[in-house]
Structure 1
Amino acid sequence: MQYKNTLEFAKKLDSEDQLASYRYQFHIPQDKQGNDWLYFTGNSLGLQPKKAKEYINVELQDWAEKGVEGHFDGENPWVTYPESLSKMMAKVVGAKPLEVIIMDTLTANLHFLMVSFYRPTKKRYKILIESDAFPSDRYAVQSQLKFHGFSEEDLIYWSPPKGKDLLEINDLENILEEQGHEIALVLIGGVNYYTGQRFDFKKIAELGHAKGCVVGIDLAHGAGNIQPDLHESGVDFAAWCTYKYLNSGPGSLSGIFVHEKHAHNTELPRFAGWWNHNKETRFNMRLPFDVMAGAEGWQLSNPPILAMAPIKASLEMFEEVGMDALREKSIKLTGFMEFLFQELGSDAVSIITPINPTERGCQLSIQVKNADKSLHQKLMDKHIITDWREPNVIRCAPAPMYNSFEDVYKMVSILKEILKDY
């Protein structure tokens, strides 16, 4: 669309926004004068849904009044609590309910999934990740290699062309063509945490599978942000946290996806616990292990209900809005921010995130000249909440569930004033 660099235009877009009211279903931090912060770090920690406390209190009340009977007789029986979340989460990530479960935390889940999907042999044992993967992913695969008796030299990196910031699919194809016969696992961050680049999962799955590799996705920066269509993509597995765009609270639980093609494969090696045992006989304590089908078959322990309650509060909004409408607003909102950045006319900052909306989510990564972190601090001093990632990027993520076009306009207007001193 044709944007205009005026506050009036931003307010007009807000007045036409059918999702604008959802902003008021979140707690927005305020300064001492009661003014809302300009909050653009939903890619790191989403804001708190106002219903989160209410939903936690429901479970606290059932615990107080019913004790252990809350597992079966509570307002939301704890034994089946995760199942309703799976149905809503599946829609967010483009999966079938059978393929999704919420459990544990992100890096732990990646390890649990690699128990099943990283099965090295003497001839096929290497792991491929992007060169600037999120550190936790790199640490996880390095430790997996060591655990299986291999070395960090067996980790292959998909890197950008020299002098560029973004990865190119042709380079991945070349790596797989040359070394695919040695690669057991391709594990890619679905949206790169640093550049904000979104990858074509379907293409990556096709390339990896053609060479006999298992393909997994870390969807931490994608869930609730892009429409990953995990089932249709054909990737073997994925995992993501829920505390970024899914607004579940600091350090909260993770979601996993295991493709339907693996749903009934009881021969897949995995860790076991009583919660991935057949739910029909789970409480008959003396039976041999009988693994459940689908993603539920990767659970180990009973669900932490107090941590799940805020996820429910958030997912209900995603259920109401739908990812189509959310993504439509996101493209428009991020596009407006991009337009305003381009209007700055300053060589002190530049966008390294792809310009094409299909190759990004709502995050824009702003590269700062001379890696000057003081620019980020000046924004923070104005209660403009972004985050800094070394060596030289400010990450800004206008989250469509609660950010407004006026937020975006004000943020870039203040940045413009700050840049006058640069």
Structure 2
Amino acid sequence: MANDKLRLTQDLERRAREEGFAAFGIAPADLAPEAGKRLQTWLAEGCHGDMIWMADRAGQRASPTALWPDTRSVIMLGMSYAPDRDPFALEHVRDHGRISVYAQGKDYHDIVKRALKRLARWLVDRSNCEVKVFVDTAPVMEKPLAEAAGLGWQGKHTNLVSRDHGSWLFLGAIYTTLDLEHSLAGQDRCGSCSACQDICPTNAFPAPYKLDARACISYLTIENKGPIPIEFRTAIGNHIYGCDDCLAVCPWNKFASAAASQKAFLPRAELAAPALSDLLDMDDAGFRQIFSGSPIKRTGRNRMVRNALIAAGNSADKGLVRAVRKRLYDDEPVVRGAAVWALSQLDSSAFEEEKARHVDRESDAHVLEEWSRD
């Protein structure tokens, strides 16, 4: 029986490699209770911001068996998306926006899930078991599970770190009714390093291993539907979708190979270095065309233009004033409000001129608040 388990595990890992997974391991169905306790504490402190779904299904998230009682083992898999270029390359190119590495290619949800389903189908055919597959959209604690499966450890930036792939792994899970041999859990190797904490532009880490999403640029530019809080706008710089700073600075990335990444994750030219002027002029149809097949499409045009306006305000590029002024007439208040702030940063005389024109006709309280700022 033990030999059969070992053979199945070896064949399963071999098949996973064929499907493009760079990391493989098996976790027990019952996570250590500490993982659930950390989640409850994090939620109680409000660190999840407006991500209400995190709290709504927290009980199911805490343990695989809470989500599916028949689970006996969790097969954890990782696909590398290690970039072939410096994620900081556009840091000082302020008339262009910075898009997180993971979102510059095709939507990873689709790619990883298709591979997971093929692997799960192979396992069912081989072992006549039941399975469920998950990629980032269900109440699954992928990172603690990946650590329990030996793929790496949850670093001080709260993301998974791998000795072989650095901080560049997309995670997927297969819950199964099979009782498989568990892998050795990953061991924390962050040591005294604080690079990911030190580089965060918005100080989103109140302590190592703890993220306050409300201050995280990824949350602010993707999940947050309203205005970007004033205290974070300057620090956001030219990040317009997500932020890789804490990931990209991780010393373990030196062992990651871009050659191990899926070709589908290679950046599209229009997403690797988007010009802010182009983004500011986008209507909804243009947004859908540019971001078709990208995870960015789910965020919607309004949030992307809002983000581009914040980046424009930080650019010191007066060549963007025309495009910013145009957005003062946008149908969406969240866009108009960001345009007001951007114009105030770029051209004070143009701001006063437009203020006289817009204040009396503006009905949205938030946008009026933007006009009233000193």
Greater strand proportion? 1
- TM-score normalised according to structure 2 size: 0.26
Greater helix proportion? 2
